[in-house]
A and B are shown apart, each in its own frame.
Chain A
Amino acid sequence: MKIIVLVKEVPDTYGDRKLDLETGLAERSAGEVVLDEIGERSLEVALSFADKNANTEMVVLSMAPESATATLRRALAMGATSAVHVADGGLSGADLGLTAEVLAAAIQRTGFDLVIAGDLSTDGTGGVLAAMVAELLSVPHATSLSSIEIDSEIVTGIRVTEDGTMQLSAPLPAVVSITEALPDARLPNFKGIMAAKKKTFETFSLADLGVDPDASESARSIVIAVAEKPARGPGLKIIDEGDAGDKLADFLLQNRLV
């Protein structure tokens, strides 16, 4: 079984996250960058399967700037078999469509039985990437799974919705995405850290994958304006002179808070 796990380097949600007001891109130097937690959980799904199935190959795949090598090494230290890093200056500011196209091309090149992704990254929060990748690969997808069972022929899982639960299944090859209901990832250990240095680490450019970021036939979303988040205004203090309840109700109505 060959499992591709999609991982992503993101600004640490516990640190400062800033947008460059000129380019509209995330400022990676504004704070720490980490492997997205949902990507780590995706890897944990693959690792747990590999714990019980010796002939499992796990490839972590990321489209990220060249500086993201350390986060991919972390995934290798956690137990992934090899890493594929798509890095190309032409990908700066890539939208979901281009990202899906690039990842699908890399997956095609690598080969796969199953692709596991997180349902939503903490920076872009697009939530549709897994489905887009599946569409480009022409394979079925089962997204937002809160539990997952992988078999040699089929992947099954449960998606929780507001109204109930859905039992999903897809024959392999397939793409799935998982939610934060699945377990935390294991930490790397020392042996994993040392072994990661010797694992296969491939880097692809857009040219390697045959993807043209400026292809005019594909619709591309672009950022047309970006602005500083408005400063938080002063609070309103309501002093009770017998009419505080009315004032409070007026405030809520005026601000459409009820």
Chain B
Amino acid sequence: MASRILSRRDLDFMLFEWLKVDELSARPRFAEHSRDTFDAVLDLSAELATAAFAPHNALGDTNEPQFDGERAHVIPEVGEALRAFNNSGLLSGAMDEEVGGAQLPHVVDRACFAWFQAANNSTAGYAMLTAAATRVLLAFATERDVERYATPMIEGRFFGTMCLSEPDAGSSLADIAVRAELQPEGTYRLFGGKMWISGGDHEMSENIVHLVLARAVGAPRGIRGLSLYAVPKYLVEPDSSIGERNDVALAGLNHKMGNRGTTNTVLDFGGGRYRPGGQAGAIGTLIGEENRGLAYMFQMMNEARIGVGAGAAALGYTSFLHAVDYARTRSQGRPVDAKAPESSPVPIIRHADVRRMLLTSKAYVEGAMALVLYAARLLDESETGETAAERDRATILLEVITPIVKSWPSQWCLAANDLAIQVHGGYGYTRDYPLEQFYRDNRLNPIHEGTHGIQALDLLGRKVRINSGRGLTLLLDAIRSTAARAANSDEFAGPARTLTAAAARIEEITALLWADGDPKAALVSASSYLEALGDVVVGWLWLEQVIACGDRDDDFYRGKRLTANYYFTDILPRIHTALDLLEARDQTLVELDDSIL
């Protein structure tokens, strides 16, 4: 039976037929790899996700972590799955050989990890956070901290977290108040509370290394005064053994709507529950330089944002596969033109409205997966492109589309989760089917790692303007270039023209919004801008996919073409509602008297 977790056929198409990932083997960094190793690691991921992650997805949801007043307890299946994941070597797959990695291209690594996100996003969350924290340490920490923290994380013995938010500073990192006091021996003691810390406490690893954004005593206010510290749950002795308990206390667990298998914690740093060295204060070491913490953390955040988009795409994809399978096997009702009661009911996939929901979902989930894998391919290009110009182009392009990679799947694959519930009817609304869990799990993604609104501000306020708008120019040029390649196609000349026109309109409206340089007026409808440009970018990648289909014509390729056409005729036109709003420069939301709400 075909997997309902992800479609290997579609991943193979995107990786090898469209993105030509096997060609990366010609580059020195990937010289040890070939299609054989890519296939083997994709097989391994599918197998491990199916055998160790998927079976406890519902169990983790119905048995959320418990707080006993001191520590968090997680069902044992989560730890077992993560041990299997760590033993597989997948955590460090894309990392350098010298730190124990396998130098797998990011794009293959991303496709591999999507299996785990689709199978069990909660359990996969611990691995995602650990991998991201490890990369920050490898990039910016001292040799000593790499040795005592990053190495055991790569080995799967320690897990990692990212501690940004506080009870009064979530989206607004400028207001972070956790205080770091320099100690005579060069370490720091941290004091204050952190909120929404995923993976912040559990008993599944020997240690947890928290990467904490905090403000050194005397540092400037705002984001320029933030530094990054490595703060372990247990101190690590000079001989690398586990030492004294650090003053990082679990103050409570947040009880969430979804992703319940991932502990989400309130952490108290330096509250005195534990007294390392005989006094209160969580002991940590500075990562990199003082007051540059946010820049370091954003390395992790950018990776995490692509990871969030990938998780959203994966959760949408699995619910779509469940919906198709259900619609094929569930018989109910008769065709509108053959309703004789003595005739047999037909599978619901024959009904036009069910097909509408399935085709819309297919357009969303395959479009989102294409977007995520394209972003990961850009990351490879930015690191290993053959010329400096190619690397620079990929870096800027990735910067520009990162808010879209985070937000578009989070918005529209959640819509696919919603449609999958609808396809299942009443059954989809019950806990007997996994669809409602997929929806609840995915509902987190428009919120965390920078909300939808924050991504919109980032895109319109910063990303399309960096380097005097070079990022947007590169993006629109890439879109026009693809449209030009499809211009002579019988089937896709129309969509190519549509895309070219949309790119022109985006360009005009971006200039219009910033014509007077007033950020308040320009950004008032930033979310509409994010959504419209996101739709255009995904339309572009749909066109890229159908070009990659060539003249092949089995069910798979016909499915790609039909879905691309559907995207252009039934989905993309909605951008004009958003673009009309932006063009009108409507200021209702700026001028609103909030007493009327």
Contacts and interface: CB of A to CB of B under 8 A. Distances in A.
A204 to B, nearest CB: 21
Contacts of A73: 36, 40
A187 B51 CA distance: 10
A191 interface: yes
Contacts of A191: 89, 102
Nearest to B40: A193
B105 to A, nearest CB: 13
B279 interface: no
Interface string B34-76: 1011011101100110010000000000000000000000000
Given A14-B1, A15-B1, A193 B41 contact: yes
Contacts of A187: 44, 47-48, 51, 84, 88
B1 A190 contact: no
Given A14-B1, A70-B39, A74-B40, A190 B93 contact: yes
A77 interface: yes
A110 interface: no
B90 interface: yes
A252 interface: no
A73 B36 CA distance: 9
B36 A197 contact: yes
Contacts of A183: none
Chain B CB within 10 A, most for which of A77, A189, A190? A190
Contact of B32 (A70, A77, A197): A197
B416 to A, nearest CB: 26
B87 interface: yes
A190 B102 contact: yes
Contacts of A190: 41, 44, 88-90, 92-93, 102, 104
Contacts of B43: 74
A195 B89 CA distance: 13
A111 interface: no
Contacts of A196: 40
Nearest to B103: A194
How would you classify the secondary structure of chain B's contact residues: helix, strand, loop or mixed? Answer: helix
A189 B88 CA distance: 4
Chain B CB within 10 A, most for which of A73, A189, A193, A196? A193
A197 B47 contact: no
Interface residues of A, number: 15
Contacts of B44: 187-190, 193
B30 to A, nearest CB: 12
A197 B1 CA distance: 30
Contacts of A15: 1
Nearest to A196: B40
A189 B37 CA distance: 11
Contacts of B41: 190, 193
Nearest to A190: B89
A74 B39 CA distance: 10
Contacts of B92: 190
B212 to A, nearest CB: 30
Nearest to A198: B32
How would you classify the secondary structure of chain A's contact residues: helix, strand, loop or mixed? Answer: helix
B32 A194 contact: yes
A215 B455 CA distance: 74
B40 A77 contact: yes
Interface string B74-91: 000000000010011110
Chain B CB within 10 A, most for which of A14, A73, A77, A187? A187
Contacts of A194: 32, 37, 102
Contacts of B93: 190
A193 B47 contact: no
Interface in A139-193: 187-191, 193
A77 to B, nearest CB: 6
Contacts of A74: 40, 43
A77 B43 CA distance: 12
Interface in B422-473: none
B316 to A, nearest CB: 25
A97 B143 CA distance: 62
Interface string A48-78: 0000000000000000000000100110010
Chain A CB within 10 A, most for which of B51, B89, B102, B104? B89
A70 B42 CA distance: 13
Nearest to A191: B89
A193 B34 CA distance: 11
A15 B92 CA distance: 32
Contacts of B102: 190-191, 194
A72 B525 CA distance: 57
Interface in A17-60: none
A193 B37 contact: yes
Nearest to B90: A190
Interface string B86-110: 0111101100000000101000000
B13 to A, nearest CB: 16
A177 B89 CA distance: 32
Nearest to A186: B87
A187 B41 CA distance: 11
A197 B90 CA distance: 17
A73 B35 CA distance: 13
A83 to B, nearest CB: 13
Contacts of A197: 32, 34, 36-37
Nearest to B47: A187
A189 B83 CA distance: 12
Contacts of B51: 187
A44 to B, nearest CB: 15
A184 to B, nearest CB: 9
Contact of A189 (B1, B89, B104): B89
The 10 residue pairs across chains A and B that have the minimum distance between CB atoms: A190-B89, A193-B40, A189-B88, A189-B89, A190-B102, A191-B89, A14-B1, A193-B37, A188-B44, A194-B102
19 contacts: A14-B1, A70-B40, A74-B43, A187-B44, A187-B84, A189-B87, A190-B88, A190-B89, A190-B90, A190-B92, A190-B102, A191-B89, A193-B40, A193-B44, A194-B32, A194-B102, A196-B40, A197-B32, A197-B34
Interface of B: 1, 32, 34, 36-37, 39-41, 43-44, 47-48, 51, 84, 87-90, 92-93, 102, 104
Given A190-B92, A194-B37, 7 more contacts: A73-B36, A190-B41, A190-B89, A190-B90, A190-B102, A193-B44, A197-B32
